[in-house]
Structure 1
Amino acid sequence: MKKNWNEAFFGHVNVTIKGRLPEQFINLCVKNGITIWDIKRIDDKSVSCSLLLSDIRKVKPVLKSTDCRIHFVDRKGFPFLLKRLLSRTGIIIGMVLFLAILFVLSNIVWRIDVTGADPKLESEIRKLLKKNDLHVGAFEFFLPSTEDIESYLSGKLTKVTWLGVSKDGTTYRVDVVQKELPKEDKQPGPRNLIASKKAVIYDIFVENGQAAVEPDQVVQPGQLLISGMIGNEKDPKFVGAKGKVIGETWYRSTTAVPLKSNYKTYTGNTYTKHQLRLFGWDMPLWGLEKKPYKTFDREVTVKPVHFLIWDLPIAYKRITYRQTEQANKKLTEEAAVKAGKEAAYKKLKGKLPDKAKIISRKVENKDVKDGVLTLKIFYIVHENIAVQNLISPEEQQEKIEKAKEKEKEKEEKSQDN
């Protein structure tokens, strides 16, 4: 009889059947659905065969009815292998510890690569990562997601144009594109400094070139401030004008502040659920309340489990509920004016050059309508209004020549008269 395909898994035994009617024993086994194979005759009163381990109990009545005895020769299959292993606890403990160590090592950060950053910036990035608990030897289950790490670094670093965080196995990678500051031209070509906007000249500092304006003078956009031409008209020289022209400029802004507003605040109370995800199904481990708070923000973190280079269909899932509450805020007109001034100041400050100074501000108009205070504010600012404008020595020379010709023509006319 053909042996069953699952004999290796469920286990089987090789036996010898001895008795007066061994053939009748075989016939009754087949009749009763007992799987039997590898039947060989040894002599007139004995045969050898193989039986499934699960059919041994079914064989006992057949043995009695045929007056036969069974003798076990060999035992094979997974159940017997497992029994032998269990009898050797040292091997079992060693295997379990080995797999546990591999599992732990597969979920630990072993390397952090930072590319595209100079040594100083790389050191700063590694310090920020360490503050965020990301370092060599950290356990991945307790680390924030790569998106959160990326947002954290982007908010802290001002010298980068772009930053990306990715993960490959046990390695984290931080790719950086640094801001390239324009290199200062050590030997600038001929150029003037002209006004970038309308202003009243407050102060002027000339490092190279010749001043073309004076303090308290009103200038228009594009007007010459510091000339790159020095010397006299007979022998002019052209240089790269350099300096600062501090102008008094003016700005107006309109800001609206609601006197009544609703906003969401966090109470500080949190509730965390811990779950084990198996093949897409979530099994609760700790925290069984469905909705711990009436109003809340929900944050879900899923950490997949790795084993060597494979991603297992197992993941650790953490759900954090942060309790919130709605609050109503009412402002007096005085407080709303103060808040509007601060908001407008920050907004203007973000648009101005780094070293610009806001000298004064004045509320020109305030109006309350439909619960909203509208402010119109006037600002006086001191800022550098000088911008570079390249000049061509040939063109300037032509202008000088034309001016000389006009003067000659005027002199000739005056002499004729």
Structure 2
Amino acid sequence: MKKNWNDKVYGHVRVSVAGRLTEQFINRCVREEITIWNIQRIDKTTITCCILLKDIKKIKPVLKATDCRIHFIERAGLPFLYKKLMSRSGIISGFILFFLALFFLSNIVWRIDINGADPKLEAEIKAILNKMDVHVGAFEFFLPSTEKIESELSSRLNKVTWLGVSKDGTTYHIDLVQKELPKKDKAPGPRHLVATKKAIIHKIFAEKGQPLVEQDQFVKPGQILISGLIGKESAPAPIAAKGKVIGETWYQSETTIPLQSNVKTYTGKTYTKRQLQLFGWNCPLWGLKKKPFKHYDREVTKKPVHFLFWDLPIAYKRIIYREDDENERKLTESQAIQEAKQASYKKLKSQLPLKSKVVSQNIDKRIIKNGKMKLYMHYIVYENIAKPEAIDPVKVKEQIEKHKKEKKDGG
């Protein structure tokens, strides 16, 4: 008979059968549907063959009927292998514990490298990481993603211009560039302070230089406000003018606000699923609801499993569902005006120089069309309108020569 394909799974034995009626033994096995194969004759009274382990009990009546004896030569298959392994349970347990220890050690944080930080900043970074449970010895499955770590550090560190977080095996790398202390400005060369825009002068603070404008005077862009030439006109001394000129300036804005819109808000309810991903197939560990909420946002965190230097086709997944609710928002005309004014004011402040002051805001007009309100605003602002402009030494020389010529002609 042909060899059975599942003999390795169920196990089989190779036996020798001795007796006067070995041919009848083979025929009875066929009739009793006992699977035998690899039949070989040794001599007139002895044959060898292979028999499935599960058929051993069936063969006893056949042996008795044919007056044959059986002798086991070889045992093979999973049942015998399992029995053999169980007889060496101590060694097997040691191997299992060894591989479990390697697996565990391959998925914890062994080192955190911080590059580009001074000792004080490095200590601050480590304190923030500890609050996020990111430290040497932490189990990687329960740590936030590198993107979240990077975002948290960037938002809390004011002395950093750039920061990047990466992970290489069991090591986290944090690379950063610290803000450099501002260098002391070099002594500026001779200069005027000129107007940056149209304005009406409100106040003048001249630390160095000669003011050329007065309060309530209208000025244009480029007009000299504080001159860097002092002394006699015949021999002016160029210096670096210094000071502030606060001018009254004007701005207009246009803001559009919808009177009706859909707003999504979170209810605060969350549901967490935990899964083990094996070769792309998700095996649920915790949380079996398919859709815990009718409306939700989903956040997926995936942590691959490592073994020494290799990434295994196994990953731990955590899925957080956050319930949200969409509501229709309708604004009255007064509410829309208030919201438009706030948005317009915020946009204006982001464009103004530091220490500028909005002293007046008025609505020029408002238009309601197609479910939207368009608001036109007018602002009066007090801001520093002075900027430095280098003094041209050629022009100074020409001015002196002109004065000398006029004096000579007049004399």
Q: Give the TM-score band, short-chain normalised.
A: 0.7 to 0.9
1:176 maps to 176
Q: Say which is worse superposed, 80-89 or 330-339, in terms of deviation.
A: 80-89
Alignment partners' CA distance in 1, 2:118 and 2:386: 33
| 183 and 267 in structure 1: CA distance in 2 versus 1, 3 angstrom threshold | same
Alignment partners' CA distance in 2, 1:135 and 1:219: 61
How many Å apart are 1:9 and its aligned residue?
9.8
1:317 maps to 317
Alignment partners' CA distance in 2, 1:379 and 1:121: 43
Alignment partners' CA distance in 2, 1:212 and 1:118: 49
Q: Say which is worse superposed, 396-405 or 152-161, in terms of deviation.
A: 152-161
Counterparts in 2 of 1:52-91, with a 5 A limit? Answer: 57=56, 65=66, 67-70=68-71, 82-91=82-91
How many Å apart are 1:80 and its aligned residue?
5.3
Q: Say which is worse superposed, 293-302 or 141-150, in terms of deviation.
A: 141-150
Alignment partners' CA distance in 2, 1:259 and 1:94: 72
How many Å apart are 1:325 and its aligned residue?
1.7
Alignment partners' CA distance in 1, 2:114 and 2:94: 38
Describe the SS at the equivalent of 2:387: strand
Letter of the structure 2 residue corresponding to residue 329 of structure 1 = R
Retained in 1: the 8 A contact 2:210–2:230? Answer: yes
1:243 maps to 243
* CA deviations over 1:335-373 (Å, ceiling 9, x no partner): 222222221121111112232222232223233333333
How many Å apart are 1:63 and its aligned residue?
6.8
Describe the SS at the equivalent of 1:138: coil
Retained in 1: the 8 A contact 2:271–2:292? Answer: yes
| 380 and 11 in structure 1: CA distance in 2 versus 1, 3 angstrom threshold | same
Retained in 1: the 8 A contact 2:14–2:51? Answer: no
Describe the SS at the equivalent of 2:221: coil
1:100 maps to 100
* CA deviations over 1:186-220 (Å, ceiling 9, x no partner): 32233332222222233333344443333333222
Letter of the structure 2 residue corresponding to residue 287 of structure 1 = G
Retained in 1: the 8 A contact 2:234–2:403? Answer: no
Alignment partners' CA distance in 2, 1:143 and 1:260: 42
Alignment partners' CA distance in 2, 1:92 and 1:241: 87
* CA deviations over 1:27-71 (Å, ceiling 9, x no partner): 99xx9985669x9x9x99999x99798599398789765834426
Residue identity (%): 56
How many Å apart are 1:312 and its aligned residue?
0.7
Query: Within the alignment, does 1:266 sit opposite 2:266 as a pair?
Result: yes
Retained in 1: the 8 A contact 2:35–2:55? Answer: no
2:254 maps to 254
Alignment partners' CA distance in 2, 1:302 and 1:376: 49
Unaligned runs of 5+ in 1: 1-5
How many Å apart are 1:251 and its aligned residue?
1.5
| 248 and 67 in structure 1: CA distance in 2 versus 1, 3 angstrom threshold | same
2:349 maps to 349
Describe the SS at the equivalent of 1:186: coil
How many Å apart are 1:278 and its aligned residue?
0.8
TM-score scaled to structure 2, two decimals? Answer: 0.79
Alignment partners' CA distance in 2, 1:360 and 1:61: 112
How many Å apart are 1:232 and its aligned residue?
3.0
Retained in 2: the 8 A contact 1:273–1:286? Answer: yes
Counterparts in 2 of 1:221-300, with a 5 A limit? Answer: 221-300=221-300
How many Å apart are 1:315 and its aligned residue?
0.9
Alignment partners' CA distance in 1, 2:182 and 2:389: 17
| 198 and 184 in structure 1: CA distance in 2 versus 1, 3 angstrom threshold | farther
TM-score scaled to structure 1, two decimals? Answer: 0.78
Alignment partners' CA distance in 1, 2:386 and 2:120: 33
Letter of the structure 1 residue corresponding to residue 356 of structure 2 = A
Retained in 2: the 8 A contact 1:195–1:223? Answer: yes
How many Å apart are 1:243 and its aligned residue?
2.7
Alignment partners' CA distance in 2, 1:328 and 1:137: 49
How many Å apart are 1:280 and its aligned residue?
0.9
Describe the SS at the equivalent of 1:197: coil
1:194 maps to 194
Describe the SS at the equivalent of 2:319: strand
Letter of the structure 1 residue corresponding to residue 166 of structure 2 = S
Query: Within the alignment, does 1:203 sit opposite 2:220 as a pair?
Result: no
1:403 maps to 402
Letter of the structure 2 residue corresponding to residue 407 of structure 1 = E
How many Å apart are 1:323 and its aligned residue?
1.8
* CA deviations over 1:92-151 (Å, ceiling 9, x no partner): 444333333322222222223333445555454444444444333332222332233334
Alignment partners' CA distance in 1, 2:304 and 2:340: 48
Letter of the structure 1 residue corresponding to residue 400 of structure 2 = E
| 287 and 11 in structure 1: CA distance in 2 versus 1, 3 angstrom threshold | same
What's the C-alpha RMSD, in Å, of the aligned pairs?
4.1
Letter of the structure 2 residue corresponding to residue 221 of structure 1 = P
Retained in 2: the 8 A contact 1:36–1:52? Answer: no
1:142 maps to 142
